[in-house]
Amino acid sequence: MSADTRRLGAGRYIDAAQAPDSTVTSVHELATADGAKITGVLRVVPGARTVVALMHPRQDLTHHVLVPELLARGYAVWTQGTRSVNNDVALVHEQALLDAAAGQVFLREKSFEHVVTLGHSGGGTLFAFYHQQAGLPGAERLAHTPAGRPIDLAGAQMPLPDGAVFMAPHPGQGALLLRLIDPSVVDESDPLTADPELNPFDPANGFAEPPHSSAYAPEFVTRYRAAQHDRVARLDEIARQRVDEAADARRRYRGTAEPADRRAALVPRVLTVYRTDADLRFTDLSLSPNERPYGSLFGRRPDLTNYGLVGFGRFATPDAWLSTWSGLSTNADFLRCAPAVTAPALFVELTADQACFPDDAKTMCDALGSADKTHVRVAGTHFGGPIAEGAPTGAALAAADIGAWLSDRFS
């Protein structure tokens, strides 16, 4: 790993190109099938007959680095958020499907000839999940969230897109966290407790002082992965207990006018999930090797960021935990949804990715049900940054492949 690569780190913020001067931009508020409001931005260039829809379950993609790249190649671009944009404490993926559906209905009403989804990072699994459910008859769609709450996907219009692009898609929020969560936590109420036999940042277990790559023994990796599974199962049990308590409070509320019961029916009981930046692959570069720099998506020192405020799944309602962050309970899992993606598909792997590793990429692409699917690899980091100082950005390289693929199929 070069010094340049180390300095580049996760590369979350990438300078974008300028949109063409001919771009016409409009902002839209849409109502979902269940009455929520979501917003989106439509950018159109003259002659655009295909629109590319970008979406992420948690992030605002209005200024995504690919937007001007796609516009410059003659495609309209739609970027939209969910009802949980930039605040995922209550993010329920089944509701996010209704948000995605509202955008897809809007684009069909705009009379574009083709609508193509583009899922980057967590947007990949969200759109795979959408393709899966949209391809089913209404009666066969999910009727409940993992927490047991009813969800009316059957009654929603869910137009099926004409194509699917996946750029650096990780296997899903839950599947990702299943590899990120620190299993050495022994007390969910104490952020500092650690089982020394599972501590990923203990030299006795193979950890090396950054930026030197650690060297974890295979037996430690096996124990660590099993313990991660066990911790997620433990958190699932806590979440389900709280779901049951909330349901019981709602039942009491319907049968009484007592103020205490009313208050109990409204209390969210948010889970605090400590230490979720501890994938062994962040510090041991020999595991699932690629061109990634040392460190995680959140910084060059996962031994420190693991204990900080920033991280995946830090705070979640029980419903959001089970729907989004639990790799054992979520329906939004790329490998589970991918066989139902039958539209032409492009899978763009970034060679220095820290969330979608080479073995993940192959398994995920192989799982796609598309008869027409293409797997390309471009040099770049997870967010589309360059892998070395002065090198082209991964986003620019990906845009060239995406543009060529779109031109071949939807020109």
- Whether 130 has a pLDDT exceeding 60, the answer reads yes
pLDDT of amino acid 352: 97
Kindly indicate the confidence band of residue 247, based on its pLDDT and cuts at 50, 70 and 90: confident
Q: pLDDT by residue (tens digit) across 223-238?
A: 999 999 999 999 999 9
**333: exposed, middle or buried (C-beta count within 10 Å: 0-12, 13-18, 19+)?**
buried
pLDDT of amino acid 264: 74
For residue 4, is it left (φ>0), alpha (ψ between -120 and 50) or beta? alpha
- Of 314, 295, 312, 370, nearest to 338 by C-alpha is 370
Q: pLDDT by residue (tens digit) across 197-230?
A: 999 999 999 999 999 999 999 999 999 999 999 9
* For helices 122-134 and 93-109, angle between their N-to-C axes, nearest 10 degrees: 70
Kindly indicate the confidence band of residue 8, based on its pLDDT and cuts at 50, 70 and 90: very low
Q: Which pTM value belongs to this model?
A: 0.94
Kindly indicate the confidence band of residue 262, based on its pLDDT and cuts at 50, 70 and 90: confident
Question: What topology does CATH give the domain 3-175+330-410?
Answer: Rossmann fold (3.40.50)
Which residues are registered as beta bridge partners of 114? 50
- Whether 161 has a pLDDT exceeding 60, the answer reads yes
Structure tokens at 304: 């420190």
Secondary element (H or E) of residue 366: helix 358-367
- Of 395, 271, 406, nearest to 345 by C-alpha is 406
- Among 140-144, 207-211, 259-263, the minimum mean pLDDT is found in 259-263
For residue 347, give Cα distances in angstroms to 119, 170, 367, 395: 10, 11, 11, 14
Q: pLDDT by residue (tens digit) across 28-68?
A: 999 999 999 999 999 999 999 999 999 999 999 999 999 99
Question: What are the φ/ψ torsions at residue 5 (nearest 5 degrees)?
Answer: -65, -40
The fraction of the chain above a pLDDT of 70, given in percent, is: 95
Alpha helices (H) in 73-165, listed in sequence order = 93-109, 122-134
The CA distance from 196 to 180, in Å, is: 18
Mean pLDDT of 97-103: 98
Three-state SS for 339?
helix
Mean pLDDT of 10-17: 59
What is the residue extent of each domain of the chain? 3-175+330-410, 183-319
Kindly indicate the confidence band of residue 1, based on its pLDDT and cuts at 50, 70 and 90: very low
Residue pair 94/145 in contact (Cβ under 8 Å)? The answer is yes
